[in-house]
């Protein structure tokens, strides 16, 4: 390993896939590996060769990957007890993967050696030493993952250090200290890492932490402070149980807070985070540090007023440095600054202290009190601002709508039907449509009625529909908030409706979604 201050080792494709709900196809793994390389990750762990069809496919296809920076690693175990390393089939598969790096794990905890492997301490050390040496002899850069190292050290420092000594004697490029159970505290990490550095002063040391105590990132940073030069983790913290060390948090901390240059283009971090979520079909975590949607969101009026004057008064870094952006929220907690900034984002001129600004703020607070929420419904907020400023031009008039649901006794599937009666410039239109549920029927009927006048609405589609009950104690008579997200393929916008009738709440959000699209087309 060269003189880089800290190397980044990504195990999203292996340890990350052990997390519940995180699954990748062979093609997904190849795509993510390519993006990790472009971002500047140093080592990419592809998986365990031969353990499953996906990993077999990945390592076969990965030979054709043209990585510009990262080194690909195959993951596996030491040889089996009482088996010559040359005859161990699992070790042979590691070599057949033809990766420049091989990472193997071995037992650091004496309890694991005697009770799980059912072998002797001496044989365990020989397994570590032999396997590392065999892989090095075959031209591989070897990372040694000391499994359960911190638990093993706390139980018997002498035994845990002896296993590291065996790996070092075999020629391991880096000794990775693993907090496999995720139960170690940062103070313990520092103390034990310093003891390792004292015992093996010439060895490169890395850190692999799990998040069972919500300390994986803190523990990784503590290890770096104590001399670790490699950090292992996953994008967005995916992994077994509560997950692994989150690289999307560790990387900006290393680079922006500790002045350790680890990646060339930190501003691509948020895109990488979202890419991994999208490929694995997982929702983005809105409150994620650095990369989350709310990481630089401001809601309180005093805060918004302050960041408008001096962003760093409430932002610890420049959002764009990690590819994120400031997000001003509008709610009942808002001051005029929130409204002014939101209007400016929409390209609408609004003067501070003007009657219009006061009226918009007052109306927002009134509607929020009724159950509306504009944090994720910028489309409805834009319509509200346009209406208050008099720049709203009505695209259509709704005269009537109704829905029916019929359930037959003879096994015939239920029928959901909606009727919409509206007018555009005085010209009436009446349509009826069936759908999968009454809301879907309303959506189809509304579009069908408007298409003769506005054929461009065929570009609009719904991408999300959420329902929230606001007053649960009122049971089935409770106020309901519906949030709908629409897109035209270029932009997305959220609209909201509130009513004690879920159909009406859905209808209000649906109409706003189409209405905003037409308003923007006319602007």
CATH number at residue 211: 3.20.20.70
So what's the pLDDT on residue 441? 92
Is residue 510 one of the residues assigned to a domain? no
Rounded to two decimals, the pTM is 0.71
> C-alpha distances in angstroms, 66 versus 33, 70, 101, 231?
10, 10, 16, 24
Residues 6+ positions from 344 with CB-CB distance below 8 Å: 350
My answer on whether 321 and 403 are in the same domain is no
C-alpha distances in angstroms, 313 versus 298, 302, 307, 330, 483?
Answer: 12, 11, 6, 19, 32
> In terms of domains, do 346 and 256 share one?
no
207 and 99 belong to one structural domain: yes
Q: Do residues 234 and 333 both lie within one domain?
A: no
Of 411, 434, 453, the last residue of a domain is 453
Does 190 share its domain with 302?
no
Is residue 88 domain-shared with residue 202, that is, in the same domain?
yes
Whether 85 shows a pLDDT value over 70: the answer reads: yes
Site of tokens 């301490």? 121
Residue 173 and residue 313 in one domain? no
Domain shared by 184 and 322, yes or no: no
- Strand-pairing partners, residue 174, are 143
Q: Is the pLDDT of residue 220 over 90?
A: yes
The CA-based angle 255-259-261, given to 5 degrees, is 55
> Tell me, what CATH number does 413's domain have?
3.30.160
377 is a domain residue: yes
Provide the total of helices (H) and of strands (E) in the chain, helices listed first. 17, 16
Helix axis angle for 438-450 and 502-522, nearest 10°, is 30
Residues 233, 340 within the same domain: no
- For residues 203 and 88, membership in a common domain is answered with yes
Query: Do residues 254 and 337 share a domain?
Result: no
* pLDDT in the model for residue 348: 73
**How buried is residue 310: exposed, middle or buried, by Cβ count under 10 Å (0-12/13-18/19+)?**
exposed
- Asked if residue 340 belongs to a domain, the reply is yes
Q: Is residue 523 part of a domain?
A: no
Q: Residue 451: its pLDDT value, please?
A: 94
Domain co-membership, 191 together with 340: no
Q: Count up the domains in the chain and report the number.
A: 3
480 is a domain residue: no
For residue 361, the enclosing domain spans 297-386
Considering the domain boundaries, does residue 269 fall inside one?
A: no
Instruction: Output the pLDDT for position 472.
Output: 57
pLDDT at 57 over 90: no
In a domain, 461, yes or no: no
Identify the pLDDT of residue 445: 94
The verdict on residue 163 lying in a domain is yes
Lowest average pLDDT, out of 111-120, 128-137, 301-310, goes to: 301-310
């Amino acid at each position: 390993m060269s003189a880089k201050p800290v190397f980044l080792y990504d195990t999203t494709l292996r340890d990350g896939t052990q997390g519940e709900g995180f699954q990748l196809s062979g093609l997904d793994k190849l795509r993510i590996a390519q993006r990790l390389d472009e971002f500047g990750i140093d080592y990419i762990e592809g998986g365990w060769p031969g353990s499953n069809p996906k990993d077999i496919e990945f390592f076969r296809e990965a030979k054709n990957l043209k990585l510009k920076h990262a080194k690909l690693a195959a993951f596996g175990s030491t040889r089996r007890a009482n088996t010559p390393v040359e005859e161990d089939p699992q070790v042979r598969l590691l070599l057949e993967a033809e990766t420049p790096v091989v990472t193997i794990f071995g037992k650091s905890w004496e309890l694991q050696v005697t009770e799980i492997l059912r072998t002797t301490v001496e044989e365990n050390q020989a397994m570590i030493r032999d396997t590392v040496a065999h892989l090095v002899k075959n031209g591989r850069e070897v990372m040694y993952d000391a499994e359960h190292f911190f638990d093993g050290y706390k139980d018997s420092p002498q035994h845990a250090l002896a296993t590291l000594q065996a790996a070092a004697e075999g020629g391991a490029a880096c000794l990775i200290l693993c907090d496999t159970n995720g139960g170690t505290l940062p103070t313990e990490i520092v103390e034990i890492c310093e003891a390792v550095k004292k015992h093996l002063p010439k060895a490169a040391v890395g850190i692999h932490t799990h998040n069972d105590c919500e300390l994986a990132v803190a523990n990784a940073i503590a290890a770096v402070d104590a001399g670790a030069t490699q950090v292992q983790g996953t994008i967005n913290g995916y992994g077994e149980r509560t997950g692994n060390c989150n690289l999307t948090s560790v990387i900006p901390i290393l680079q922006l807070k500790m002045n350790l240059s680890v990646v060339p283009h930190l501003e691509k971090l948020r895109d990488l985070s979202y890419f991994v979520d999208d490929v694995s079909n997982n929702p983005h975590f809105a409150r994620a540090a650095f990369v989350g949607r709310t990481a630089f969101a401001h809601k309180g009026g005093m805060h918004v007023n302050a960041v408008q004057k001096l962003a760093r008064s409430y932002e610890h870094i420049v959002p764009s440095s990690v590819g994120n952006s400031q997000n001003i929220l509008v709610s009942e907690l808002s001051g005029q600054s929130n409204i002014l900034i939101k209007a400016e984002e929409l390209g609408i001129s609004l003067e501070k202290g003007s009657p219009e600004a006061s009226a918009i703020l007052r109306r927002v607070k009134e509607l929020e009190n009724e159950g509306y929420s504009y944090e994720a419904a910028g489309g409805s907020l834009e319509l509200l601002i346009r209406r208050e400023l008099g720049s709203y031009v009505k695209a259509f008039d709704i005269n009537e709508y109704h829905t029916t649901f019929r359930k037959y006794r003879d096994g015939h599937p239920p029928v959901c039907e909606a009727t919409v009666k509206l007018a555009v410039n005085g010209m009436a239109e009446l349509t009826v449509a069936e759908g999968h549920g009454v809301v879907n029927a309303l959506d189809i009927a509304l579009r069908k009625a408007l298409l003769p006048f506005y054929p461009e609405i065929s570009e609009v589609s719904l991408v999300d529909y959420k329902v929230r009950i606001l007053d649960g104690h009122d049971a089935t008579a409770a106020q309901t908030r519906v949030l709908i997200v629409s897109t035209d393929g270029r932009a997305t916008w959220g609209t909201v409706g509130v009513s004690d009738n879920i159909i009406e709440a859905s209808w209000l959000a649906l109409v706003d979604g189409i209405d905003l699209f037409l308003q923007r087309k006319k602007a």
